Amino acid sequence: MTASTGAAGAGFLEMWRDLRPIGRNRDSGGYRRYAWTAADADCRAWFRAQAESRGLTYELDRNGNQWAWLGDPDAGDAVVTGSHLDSVPDGGAFDGPLGVVSSFAALDELRHRGAEFTKPLAITNFGDEEGARFGLACVGSRLTSGVLTPEQAHALTDADGVSLPQAMERAGYDPETIGPDHDRLARIGAFIELHVEQGRALDLSGDAVGIASSIWPHGRWRFDFRGEANHAGTTRLVDRRDPMLSYAETVLAARREARLAGAVATFGKIAVEPNGVNAIPSLVRGWLDSRAADQQALDDTVTAIEKAARAYADEHGIEVSLTRESFTPVVEFDHALRDELARILGTDQELKVPVLGTGAGHDAGILASSIPTAMLFVRNPTGVSHSPAESAAEDDCLAGVHALADVLEGLACT
């Protein structure tokens, strides 16, 4: 992004510059900000510094989510905005951080306007939204809203066998405090998350900012294919029980079934044991991410993929098991709040703000079961996300900041 004018622009770019190098891999240019790692700690330190440099009251909640308060949190009916700072492996710079940086920049803008707050305002960083390390999306907001129990969270482990509690402890957090935080949620009147669009709808419509209508139901399933380890060079083809073939067949079935159901299905992560070039594997683990506009289409897709996997495995003497590791039902954002955002933004003659659905999960989607939530999307010119190539034009980012400032002013400064 290049230099820009305006108070919000200057502040935005300064924050962006400070945050940008944290957790960025020099070779890929992507981000590796995984929950409870050093990069995560650096992002959290950045968040706290931004909060305290603005005179906000910094708070860490029982689940490790970060809050920066303006006004008395106990007054209730707070307007909260924010997103997440963690990333997928080699993720882009905008997915998550755009929402957090824009929240601080929107507050700067409102102070510049001389806005008078009549409700408490908070800016948040929800921990472990991507689930890149422990496999479950939105751990921080799921724990807070009670859709993930402490026992379930304690059972999560990463690829090295480190459990979530161990990782939290090593990062200096007490894993024994995690759990639902209904009192905190009861003090919130509305949560607004600004996020880079992960798709091209705004690019195609020619708009800088959009409002979310819904999130597709989506989930993550782990397929375990067990065969028989053997020598790659001396084992006749007819004598093999090679789980890699079952995995390959299942990947092709996933694409076929998703196309037939109008859904999406992706095998983006695989683990092979013993993972030797000259060894037929004993175990192939593949993780399926599947999403669809409605639950029936998603169920049909995953059921058909599982059926194909079992049929092929049975034919070739492979054992297959399926474990659902993460699931988020369809989210319809609060209609009254969605329409209030459209009313507020509709007063700006320059801005046409379409309402659009998404297949991407967000903390605002998890929290929607507990409090009124809404989302603003900022145009992504290529639609690419979960990739170092993810981008957003600086003018569009600033349009997002101004739109968020207008929304926060309309909700918290009436």
Query: Is residue 291 within 8 Å of 362, Cβ to Cβ?
Result: no
Is residue 242 involved in binding Mn ion (CB under 5 A)?
no
Query: Is residue 255 within 8 Å of 400, Cβ to Cβ?
Result: no
CB of 195 to ligand HGY, least distance (A): 9
CB of 385 to Mn ion, least distance (A): 6
Single-letter residue type at 113:
R
Nearer to Mn ion, 96 or 199 (CB): 96
Buried b (16+ CB within 10 A) or exposed e, 178-214: bbbbeebbebbbbbbbbbbbbbebbeeeebbbbbbbb
Q: Which of 361, 379, 391, 406 binds ligand HGY (CB under 6 A)?
A: 361
Single-letter residue type at 299:
D
Query: Is residue 393 within 8 Å of 207, Cβ to Cβ?
Result: no
Nearer to Mn ion, 96 or 365 (CB): 96
For the chain, the helix, strand and coil percentages under 3-state DSSP, each to the nearest 5: 40, 25, 40
Q: In sequence order, which residues have a C-beta less than 8 Å from that of residue 22 and are 6 or more positions away?
A: 33, 39, 42, 43, 46
Q: Which stretch binds ligand HGY (CB under 6 A): 48-56, 129-137, 227-235, 334-342?
A: 129-137
> Of 269, 264, 253, which Cα lies nearest the Cα of 311?
253
Nearer to ligand HGY, 105 or 137 (CB): 137
Is residue 96 involved in binding Mn ion (CB under 5 A)?
yes
Q: Which stretch binds Mn ion (CB under 5 A): 92-100, 219-227, 234-242, 345-353?
A: 92-100
Q: Residue 361: which of ligand HGY, Mn ion, none does it interact with, CB under 5 to 8 A by kind?
A: ligand HGY
Instruction: List the interface residues with Mn ion, window 117-176 (CB under 5 A).
Output: none
Is residue 365 involved in binding Mn ion (CB under 5 A)?
no
CB of 293 to ligand HGY, least distance (A): 14
Burial label for 17, CB within 10 Å (0-12, 13-18, 19+), is: exposed
Q: Write the DSSP string, 108-133.
A: HHHHHHT---SS-EEEEE-S-SS-TT
Is residue 409 involved in binding ligand HGY (CB under 6 A)?
no
Nearer to ligand HGY, 130 or 396 (CB): 130
Is residue 130 involved in binding ligand HGY (CB under 6 A)?
yes
Instruction: List the interface residues with ligand HGY, window 61-90 (CB under 6 A).
Output: none
Q: Which of 22, 98, 360, 374 binds ligand HGY (CB under 6 A)?
A: 360
Helix (H) or strand (E) holding 295: helix 295-315
Is residue 313 involved in binding ligand HGY (CB under 6 A)?
no
Burial label for 376, CB within 10 Å (0-12, 13-18, 19+), is: buried
Q: Residue 96: which of ligand HGY, Mn ion, none does it interact with, CB under 5 to 8 A by kind?
A: Mn ion
Is residue 257 involved in binding Mn ion (CB under 5 A)?
no
CB of 385 to ligand HGY, least distance (A): 7
Query: Is residue 105 within 8 Å of 407, Cβ to Cβ?
Result: no
Nearer to Mn ion, 70 or 403 (CB): 403
Helix (H) or strand (E) holding 98: helix 97-113
**283 three-class SS:** strand
Is residue 137 involved in binding ligand HGY (CB under 6 A)?
yes
Is residue 95 involved in binding Mn ion (CB under 5 A)?
yes
Nearer to ligand HGY, 219 or 227 (CB): 219
> Of 166, 145, 156, which Cα lies nearest the Cα of 222?
156
Give the separation between CA 266 and CA 261, rounded to whole angstroms: 14
Query: Is residue 28 within 8 Å of 90, Cβ to Cβ?
Result: yes
CB of 84 to ligand HGY, least distance (A): 8
Give the separation between CA 306 and CA 121, rounded to whole angstroms: 46
Nearer to ligand HGY, 130 or 406 (CB): 130
Q: Residue 181: which of Mn ion, ligand HGY, none does it interact with, CB under 5 to 8 A by kind?
A: none
Q: Which stretch binds Mn ion (CB under 5 A): 33-41, 64-72, 95-103, 263-271?
A: 95-103
CB of 20 to Mn ion, least distance (A): 17
Nearer to Mn ion, 85 or 345 (CB): 85
CB of 170 to ligand HGY, least distance (A): 24
Residues within the interface to Mn ion (CB under 5 A): 95-96
- Report the interface residues with ligand HGY, using CB under 6 A: 129-130, 137, 360-361
